[in-house]
Chain A
Amino acid sequence: MRDLMKTDLIQRRDLLKLAGMGVAVFVSGTTIRAVGAQQKSNDSFYFVQLSDTHWGFSGPNINPDSQGTLKKAVAAVNGLDEQPDFVVFTGDLTQTTDDRKIRRDRMAEFRDIVSQLKVKTVRFMPGEHDASLDRGEAYQEFFGDLHYTFDHNGVHFIALDNVSDPTAAVGEKQLQWLQADLKQMKNDARIVVLTHRPLFDLAPDWDWATRDGDAVIDTLLKHPNVTVLYGHIHQEHHHMTGHIAHHAARSLMWALPEPGSVPKKAQIPWNASEPYKGLGFRNVEAEVAEARYKIEEISMAGRS
């Protein structure tokens, strides 16, 4: 990996300003330096989002380094100049299997690998590959609750489960739990929602939707400072529903085509001339006072 000077990094960044989204997205190349290292102020912090690691997947044409990509990502996070406050995995930690024992074996292996992260606060969330076939039974044995909240430096994080119900619904019970949680929050609270599937209808025929996502969004719309981070679609994507910004993260196993760009959703084959292309993770710097989030996409491309 090239070791770039910080000034070099800033010049090379392709800054995409997403008007009205309360977010700046930095697309960096092979560098793994954190934006937080240069700009962090007293009321800001940063965390890392990794997603869709699909541990246990095997497919040489899709990712011949299926056993190594997650480990490289862990090493890349450990190599950040300044360690994040925490790391969050937004689902599909493991590749689905109908075999209960293999499911647990994969979860145990995944847990062992990510235990190598230097940062000690690691949050997990399920994806449908982890939790849809047993309604989250195995997942809870290894990683805890399917939905929960936590607070960090003035930001209220809500991890929503839209996967343990195989119909891709949040469900009435969890919706009531969400409403009760939000009722306790001040109107101007800084809220980040973490989900696996998109809450809006991105591409329902590709399973890129949440069946009762409208009800969730209606509930969230009552608060002015809400941002949603999710995974599932294996690519960077940005979308607004009202004033709420939704940002999808890349996968660490395979990339998928843009929604609706091909007749049938299919994994993008590995390109030997551009290994790891489309795979990556992201740093998210929270500027709490401004309720803004700077997202720096970190590509796995070019890593050996």
Chain B
Amino acid sequence: MKKIVAHTFLVAVSAGLLLELMAMSSTAEDLRKNEQVIHISASSFEFKPSEITVKKGVPVTLEIASQDHHHGFRLSEFHLRADIQPGVMEKIRFVPDKSGKFTFLCDVFCGEGHEEMSGTLTVIE
């Protein structure tokens, strides 16, 4: 009798775990499906687009390409930065874990208008 109870218990636990794993997998799959892929063009002295809106908790991939020469991309609030070299598509992946408006900017001195080269990332709930 004890064996039957133990066996039933194990089956129940396993089924529960399986369901949980399936649910997690499904959530991850959903997140992947909903991944926000944003193409950004960097050129002297602007990012296009310079205004970006994404959803909190949903993975983001920024695909950044330079149209002229070496630029930088810095988004300090999420501890992100990259060198953007001509001819190389730089991919930055992250999951925004807070909402608000955050400035990103070029942090490689690129010319007369360098200090104006920035944009805003808006993270909504």
Contacts and interface: CB of A to CB of B under 8 A. Distances in A.
B76 interface: yes
B111 A168 contact: no
A97 B108 contact: no
B108 A167 contact: yes
B70 interface: yes
Contacts of A166: 70, 108-110
B76 A168 contact: no
Nearest to B103: A205
Contact of A128 (B83, B103, B109, B118): B109
Interface in A118-167: 128, 132-133, 163, 166-167
A212 interface: no
B74 interface: yes
B112 interface: yes
A204 B76 contact: yes
Interface residues on B, range: 10 to 19
Nearest to A267: B115
22 contacts: A96-B109, A96-B112, A96-B114, A98-B111, A98-B112, A128-B109, A133-B111, A163-B109, A166-B70, A166-B108, A167-B72, A167-B83, A167-B107, A167-B108, A168-B109, A204-B76, A205-B74, A205-B76, A205-B103, A207-B109, A264-B103, A264-B118
A133 B109 contact: yes
Mostly, the A contact residues are: loop
Contacts, number: 37
A17 interface: no
Nearest to A129: B109
B105 interface: yes
Contacts of B112: 96-98
Nearest to A163: B109
Mostly, the B contact residues are: mixed
Contacts of B108: 166-168
A13 interface: no
Interface residues on A, range: 10 to 19
Given A167-B72, A204-B76, A132 B109 contact: yes
A263 B110 CA distance: 22
Contacts of A133: 109, 111
Contacts of B118: 264
Contacts of B114: 96
B36 to A, nearest CB: 23
A40 interface: no
A179 B108 CA distance: 26
Interface in A87-129: 96-98, 128
B111 A207 contact: no
A265 interface: yes
A86 B39 CA distance: 52
Interface in B82-125: 83, 103, 105, 107-112, 114-115, 118
A232 to B, nearest CB: 12
B46 to A, nearest CB: 15
A162 to B, nearest CB: 11
B99 to A, nearest CB: 17
A18 B103 CA distance: 34
Contacts of A263: 103
A128 B114 CA distance: 11
